[in-house]
Amino acid sequence: LPSAALDVSLEDYVDICLALLDIPVQKSRIQSLHVLFTLFAEFRNSQHFRKLTRNKII
């Protein structure tokens, strides 16, 4: 994801992040951000990443 130092508005930053992850914005950005954070939480709690975290790789 782009760094927060990018000189764009919050709405544009959200649009960039969602576009990079191919998450569509249909009714509102809030719903799309919910999808983004749900996806992040699932990745973080997956067995693969939990094992890497335990081994201090990430």
Tell me the residue range of the domain where 39 lies. Answer: 10-54
Number of domains in the chain: 1
**pTM of the entire structure?**
0.68
- pLDDT per residue as tens digits for the range 20-45: 999 999 888 999 999 999 998 888 88
How many alpha carbons fall within 13 Å on the CB side of residue 4?
0
Segment 46-54 shows an average pLDDT of: 72
**Contact of 32 with 11, CB cutoff 8 Å:** no
* Tokens of residue 6, six digits: 């990018």
Residue 31, domain member (yes or no): yes
Residue 2, domain member (yes or no): no
Residue 4, domain member (yes or no): no
Per-residue model confidence (pLDDT) at position 18? 94
Per-residue model confidence (pLDDT) at position 22? 94
Residue 20, domain member (yes or no): yes
Per-residue model confidence (pLDDT) at position 57? 60
* Tokens of residue 33, six digits: 């951000």
